[in-house]
Amino acid sequence: MTDKRLDALIDTARAEREYLRWVILSALWHARPYGTTETVIMGACRDIPLRATGDQLRAELRSLAKRGLVDLQDAAPIWSAELTPQGEAVVDYRAEAPTDIARPPRW
């Protein structure tokens, strides 16, 4: 199999974005009921380790907020977020996860 064909089969950038969305939701689940700042979420991403920039994190937070999974406060220089009830249901496996979130299968 050539490198060109392998790249077509594995879209690593997409997989990292999907996993980043799951890490964000999981970090916010652990920060309940208060939520947390983007700095803490970025620390969780780096501990995994997951290559993510601040801009990527903010883009994914916006994406999750548009879907109603996250309540985002982006007026301040440092953003903060907390899970909505719908986001909590996704993390707790009580609701179906959107297809572009890399939620691991339930055991």
105 falls within a domain? no
- Is residue 2, in this structure, part of any structural domain at all? no
| Total count of domains within the chain | 1
**How high is the pLDDT of residue 98?**
92
pLDDT band at 102 (very low <50, low <70, confident <90, very high): very high
Task: For residue 50, give its domain range.
Answer: 12-91
Tens-place pLDDT, residues 61-99:
999 999 999 999 998 899 999 999 999 999 999 999 999
Note the pLDDT tens digit of each residue in 4-29: 666 666 788 898 999 999 999 999 99
Mind giving me the DSSP string for the chain? --HHHHHHH--HHHHHHHHHHHHHHHHHHHTTTT-EEHHHHHHHHHHTT----HHHHHHHHHHHHHTTSEEEE-SSSS-EEEE-HHHHHHHTTSSPPPTTS-PPPP-
Residue 19 lies in a domain: yes
In a domain, residue 66? The reply is: yes
Task: Kindly state whether residue 50 falls inside one of the protein's structural domains.
Answer: yes
Quick check: is 100 in a domain?
no
Higher pLDDT, 8 or 41: 41
In a domain, 7, yes or no: no
CATH code, domain carrying 29: 1.10.10.10
pLDDT computed for residue 2 by the predictor = 52
4 domain-assigned: no
